[in-house]
Amino acid sequence: MLLEKVRILGNTAIYLLRDLGGMGVYLLHILGGCGKRPFRFRETLRQTSFIGFGSLFVICCTALTTGMVLGLQGYYSLHKFGAEGMLGSAVALSLILELGPVLTALMVTGRAGSSMCAELGIMRNTEQIDALECMAVDPFRYLISPKFIATLISVPLLTAIFDVVGIFGGYLAGVVLMGVDPGSYVEGMRNSVTNHDVNLGIIKSFVFAVLVVWICTGRGYFVQQIRGAGFGAESVSRMTTQAVVLSSISVLVFDYLLTAVLL
């Protein structure tokens, strides 16, 4: 009985290590695919439009509401201490350092990551990836690397837009609705946000972009090798769910790690 449990534990550990190793090699293949000729410029553009431009509306909505909530919440908290002048800096710092990169990555995961995973999973299940390999067309160069590059371009840009729209949302709630002095909102922001903060936000958004596209495409690509995935349509739907969950959790975990290391 105990032996059986140890066996299951050992098996699971080996499986997890192998899965992780496989994902590591997979990432190397994606990077290799980015360097291979001919580069699929149009496909990369198309993916950038889908992942980036396509997410613009969602990102703006999220950013505006998040910014407004921050503005309102911040106003009430700071008002107690008579420190409304700090509102601009509070809103801007929370957005640039945390909420902008994290929420953008989560929205992109939900919108584009899930669809990338499902697309690759279906292609795997219907032998389309095998067919590519049989034509000696590298599936990484052809399919996955364009998505990788597109995500790497889109997520940092979306994060920047998120930050700007969010700060504007904070302005709306704090200055326009609650009557904080506009000069102090902008000035407070200018005085407290440093280059280092902005850089940290950018680094985070790049790391999150890699996590999202790596995990989401990976779950789709390996749909037939993952334990408990099942088969056919069900396996694709399960892997898509798993991709979204895994990618969201890793974004949050890495957010903590990056903050701890770099701040």
Partner 1 sequence: MNEALIEFNDVVKIFPKKDGGEQRVLDRVNFAIPEGKTTVIAGRSGQGKSVTLKLILGLMRADGGQVVVGGENVAALGKQGLNAMRTRFGVLFQGSALFDSLTVYENVALPLRERTGKKEDEIRAIVEATLAELELSGHESKFPAQLSGGMRRRVGLARALQLNPEILLFDEPTTGLDPVMTQEIYQLFARTQAKSGFTSIIVSHDIPRVFSLADQIIVLDRGVMDVFPSTEAIQRSEKAHIQEFVSTTMGALYQSWLVE
Residue 181's SS3 state is: coil
Q: Which is nearer to partner 1, 19 or 138 (CB)?
A: 138
* Cα–Cα distance, 32 to 222 (Å, whole number): 18
Query: Are the CB atoms for 110 and 244 separated by under 8 Å?
Result: yes
Q: Which is nearer to partner 1, 127 or 234 (CB)?
A: 127
Piece in contact with partner 1 (CB under 8 A), picked from 55-63, 119-127, 160-168, 237-245? 119-127
Q: Which is nearer to partner 1, 126 or 194 (CB)?
A: 126
234 binds partner 1 (CB under 8 A): no
Q: Which is nearer to partner 1, 40 or 111 (CB)?
A: 40
Q: How far is the CB of 39 from partner 1 (least distance, A)?
A: 12
130 binds partner 1 (CB under 8 A): yes
Q: How far is the CB of 183 from partner 1 (least distance, A)?
A: 53
Within 8 A by CB and 6+ apart from 100, the residues are 63, 159, 160, 162, 163, 166, 201, 205
Residue 165's SS3 state is: helix
Q: Which is nearer to partner 1, 119 or 255 (CB)?
A: 119
Piece in contact with partner 1 (CB under 8 A), picked from 129-137, 156-164, 204-212, 219-227? 129-137
Positive/negative CA dihedral, 101, 44, 210, 246? positive
Q: Which is nearer to partner 1, 2 or 135 (CB)?
A: 135
Q: Which is nearer to partner 1, 28 or 177 (CB)?
A: 28
Segment 171-177 long-range contacts (CB within 8 Å, at least 24 positions apart): 171/67, 171/71, 171/88, 172/64, 172/67, 172/68, 172/71, 173/67, 173/68, 173/69, 173/70, 173/71, 173/72, 173/75, 174/71, 174/72, 174/74, 174/75, 174/84, 174/87, 174/88, 174/91, 177/71, 177/72
- For residues 131 to 160, the per-residue mask of contacts with partner 1, x marking binding by CB under 8 A and - elsewhere, is x-xxxxxx---x------------------
* Cα–Cα distance, 20 to 27 (Å, whole number): 11
Q: How far is the CB of 132 from partner 1 (least distance, A)?
A: 8
Nearest to 174 by CA among 70, 62, 61: 70
3 binds partner 1 (CB under 8 A): no
Q: How far is the CB of 123 from partner 1 (least distance, A)?
A: 8
224 binds partner 1 (CB under 8 A): no
8 binds partner 1 (CB under 8 A): no
Please give the residue ranges that form the binding site for partner 1 (CB under 8 A). Answer: 119, 122-123, 126-128, 130-131, 133-138, 142
